[in-house]
Amino acid sequence: MPEISFHDFQNCYCFNLRWVSRVVTQHYDHALSGCGLRVTQLPILARLAAEDMTMADLADWLAMDRTTLLRNLRPLERADLVYSVPTGEGRKLKLVLSQEGAALLEKAYPVWRAAQQSLTRILGQQRWETLINDLAMTGENLTGGSN
């Protein structure tokens, strides 16, 4: 008899991932609060620090809906951390990290690093690497291996 139990749902991978995401996000956000940045904004700035990208490519890399990224960029544009310029081909825009964005990224780096290290202390480097690897494999499998 497949009696439906609360405990079955408690093993939900998605629930557990979201649960720890909330906790970890707050950990980083509290650390970063002095920088005026959120941990959700860091990967965008950091990725653009490496190279200019179109919104579609950046959204793909983030495994995020294109329209979600569009709105997430608004606070960054308002703060003059990121701006967009036409590429010349079609309506395609290129996202560029501004000087202020690069400066803020540098300022946030040691703060982020401290938050990261306090997590490393909990599980250890090795277990984190395994964990991130397994998560990446799961994500790549679900997105068709395009990431």
Partner DNA sequence: CCCTTTAATGTGCATATGCACAGATGTGAT
Partner DNA sequence: ATCACATCTGTGCATATGCACATTAAAGGG
17 vs 56 by CB, closer to a second copy: 17
Closest C-alpha among 38, 72, 66 to residue 54: 66
Place of tokens 């497949």: 2
Rounded to whole angstroms, how far apart are CA atoms 2 and 16?
Answer: 23
Give the span between the Cα atoms of 135 and 122, in whole angstroms. Answer: 18
Candidates 2-10, 72-80, 96-104, 117-125: pick the segment binding DNA (CB under 7 A).
Answer: 72-80
Helix (H) or strand (E) holding 93: strand 93-97
Question: Which of 92, 107, 113, 127 is the binder for DNA (CB under 7 A)?
Answer: 92
| Residue 114 is a binding residue for DNA (CB under 7 A) | no
Contact set with a second copy (CB under 8 A):
2, 4, 6, 8-28, 39-40, 42-43, 46-47, 49-50, 62-64, 105-106, 109, 112-113, 115-116, 119, 122-123, 127-128, 130-132, 134-139, 141-143
